[in-house]
Structure 1
Amino acid sequence: MIALALSILSSTMIFVVFKLFTKFKINTMHAIVMNYITACFCGIIFQENVISFSEIAQFAWFPFALCLGVLFITVFNLMAITTQRSGLSVVSVATKMSVVIPILFGLIYYKESLGIFKIMGIILALIAVYLASIKTNDGLKIKPSNIIFPVLVFLGSGIIDTTIKYLEDEFIAKNDTPIFSATIYGMAALIGVFFLIFQTIKGKFQFHYKNILAGIALGIPNYFSVYFLVQTLRSDIFDSSGIFTVNNVAIVMVSTLLGILLFKEKLLLKNWIGIGLAIISILLITITK
């Protein structure tokens, strides 16, 4: 339970840092690249047993980790495009609703239990995510020409969570979670660095120390959000479908409440209803254990 709480806390801190990007006029792409570099170094630092770089390529999970690294930075860019074209609420809903993909994977592939309370909890969790994420009275507005971007964010986010669960169960040794995470972030960082080099060649790159600091502030909780999620999946508090549901809905709930406390955000009635449903959904899922 502690690992789950720390995963939720780490993911919520990512939300807080992203919120501060706008206030301090941070170049998001530059900070994201530094974030991946920081997260990669965190994995290397926290790896208990010494592993050489040549050994890493021999792990069965290595090609999957490289693909995840590509997917991480690809989904991030899709999120940025979706935010620009359809708004932050659309990104939030697409990202959190993607929890249905690892839930279905757990139910089908691992044949996890599905009682009435769990079904009710999952349904209420999805409703809660939607209501808590929509900050306007008009709901979501997406032009038909832009619908592909939130769909790709939905699929990409869901595939990332599902793949992490699969690798954790099939390939990753207990002590190798840090180096596994470092490999994912290292690949994402490598792609990001090539992008920055391309910007430099084009004369569009401008260096600012604040982007470096912002990236470090983002990279630390980003690393631990994945690390503690893997630790939670290895625990026996719930099965994976329950863990992903509780994790996602709790992140939305806590992030929404922090938005009120730290950023003086004003919530609509449906946002409060969403928070209430989030609490009920968590209770329903936890009593099925």
Structure 2
Amino acid sequence: MIYILLSISCSVTVAVLLKLAKRYNIHVLQAVMWNYLAAIILSYIFFRPELAQLVSVPTTLAIAIGVLLPVLFLILGASVRNIGIVKSDIAQRLSLFIPILASLYLFGENFGGLKVAGLVVGFVAIVFTLSRKSSVKAETSSLVYPILVFIGFGLIDVMFKKLALDKSIPYTSTLMVIFCISFIIAALTLGYVVIVRKKKVELINFFCGMVLGSFNFGNILFYMKAHRAMASNPSTVFAAMNMGVIILGSIIGIILFKEKVSKLNYIGIAMALVAILLITLSQKYAV
């Protein structure tokens, strides 16, 4: 579980940094592009992948993840602008349905009573924790954004799991290739923004992106390690990661950003803790 805890910590730190970006007028797209450069540099420093390994990565899967990572960022941003952060966050968290179904039907995991109970409590916790009023009124045509968020985040969880199961080459080599692809996609997108929309590239965004990339690198790395360590129980990783981000994110939101939290939200946070406990116990007791 240590890898899950480390991944949760890095994931919430990334969310906090992105939230602070608006306060300090950081251009998020520029920061995201440099974030992938930081991930590439860290991958090389810590793993020293050989060229032969880099050219032997599972091409289709690496390209799919590499393209989807920055594209999902753009989709999430569009969703927040069109329907608000609350509904977008709900769509992202409820995407847990997709990897859980994949655990059952694609990865052949057996679900005991404790795990089923934990997942049910967990899904209710997601709804309760994210149950907040949104001031953004969405048009019917805008509903495509949360749908894409739901599908996109669900699929990328499943693809990372498949990548973790591939023992043909070190997954660290594949991660470096993925980060390179994501950097290229983000750079092309930023190039369009700079040339067409006349947005200036600023040094502050580079420094912020490097810090962001360090935590994003840790988030993905520890997430992959968790899947490797708990290869026969992917649903545990999916659910514990999701619930943990909700709990820690909510605590930091309350303390650091003074976010208003309702009684229903507090019940949801408590239920998320119960869900993690049940799912953890299911690892020890096959009930």
**Structure 1 residue identity aligned to 2:59:** F
Q: Which moved more, 1:203-212 or 1:13-22?
A: 203-212
For residue 21 of structure 2, what is the aligned residue in structure 1?
21
Report the residue type matching 2:141 in the other structure: S
1:29-67 alpha-carbon deviations (Å, 9 max, x no partner): 11111111111222222214x412x641222x2331122
Q: Distance in 1 between matches of 2:104 and 2:116?
A: 11
SS of residue paired to 1:90 = helix
Match of 2:50 in 1: 51
CA contact (8 A) 2:119 2:279 kept: yes
**CA–CA distance in structure 1, aligned partners of residues 228 and 64 of structure 2:** 22
Q: Which residue of 2 aligns with 1:150?
A: 146
1:106 aligns with 2:103: yes
RMSD: 1.9
Counterpart in 1 of 2:227?
A: 233
The verdict on how the C-alpha distance between 1:135 and 1:283 changes in structure 2, with shifts beyond 3 A counting, is same
Task: Give distance in 1, aligned partners of 2:34 and 2:232.
Answer: 34
Is the CA contact 1:125–1:277 (under 8 Å) kept in the aligned structure 2? yes
For 2:198 and 2:131, how far apart are their aligned partners in 1? 35
Q: Distance in 2 between matches of 1:256 and 1:76?
A: 21
- In structure 1, the residue matched to 2:162 is 166
Aligned partners of 1:172 and 1:180 also within 8 Å: no
CA contact (8 A) 1:38 1:215 kept: yes
Displacement after TM superposition at 1:163 (Å)? 0.8
Which residue of the partner structure matches residue 270 of structure 1?
A: 264
TM-score under structure 1 length normalisation:
0.92
- Counterpart of 2:126 (choices 104, 125, 129) is 129
User: Take 2:131 and 2:139, find their aligned partners in 1: how far apart are those partners?
Assistant: 17
Partner of 2:207: 213
Matched-pair contact (CA < 8 Å) for 2:34–2:206:
yes
Indicate the SS of the match to 1:216. helix
User: Closer, same or farther in 2 for the Cα pair 1:46/1:177, shift >3 Å?
Assistant: farther
User: For residues 164 and 197 of structure 2, what CA distance do their matches in structure 1 show?
Assistant: 42
Counting only pairs closer than 5 Å after superposition, residues 169-248 of structure 1 correspond to structure 2 as 169-171=165-167, 173=169, 176-202=170-196, 204-236=198-230, 239-248=233-242
The match for 2:88 is 91
Give yes or no for contact 1:128–1:273 (8 Å, CA) kept in 2: yes
Pick aligned residue for 2:78 from 76, 81, 94: 81
Asked whether the equivalents of residues 44 and 178 of structure 1 are also in contact (C-alpha less than 8 Å), the reply is no
Further displaced range: 236-245 or 263-272: 236-245
Deviation at 1:133, TM superposition (A): 2.2
| Cα distance in structure 1, aligned partners of 2:227 and 2:249 | 22
Percent identity of the aligned residues?
A: 28
| Alpha-carbon contact 1:46-1:178 (below 8 Å) kept | no
Could you say what secondary structure the match of 1:85 adopts?
helix
Within 2, Cα distance between the matches of 1:62 and 1:99? 26
CA contact (8 A) 2:165 2:231 kept: no
Task: Give the Cα separation in 2 of the matches to 1:247 and 1:64.
Answer: 22
In 2, distance between residues paired with 1:110 and 1:183? Answer: 25
Structure 2: distance between partners of 1:139 and 1:206: 31
Q: Which runs of 5+ in 1 are unaligned?
A: none
Distance (Å, rounded) in 1 between the aligned partners of 2:168 and 2:17: 30
Structure 1 residue 160, shift from structure 2 partner: 0.6
- TM-score (structure 2 length as normaliser): 0.92
The answer on whether the counterparts of 1:66 and 1:187 sit within 8 Å (CA) in structure 2 is: yes
Gaps of 5+ in 2: none
1:113 is paired with a residue whose SS is: coil
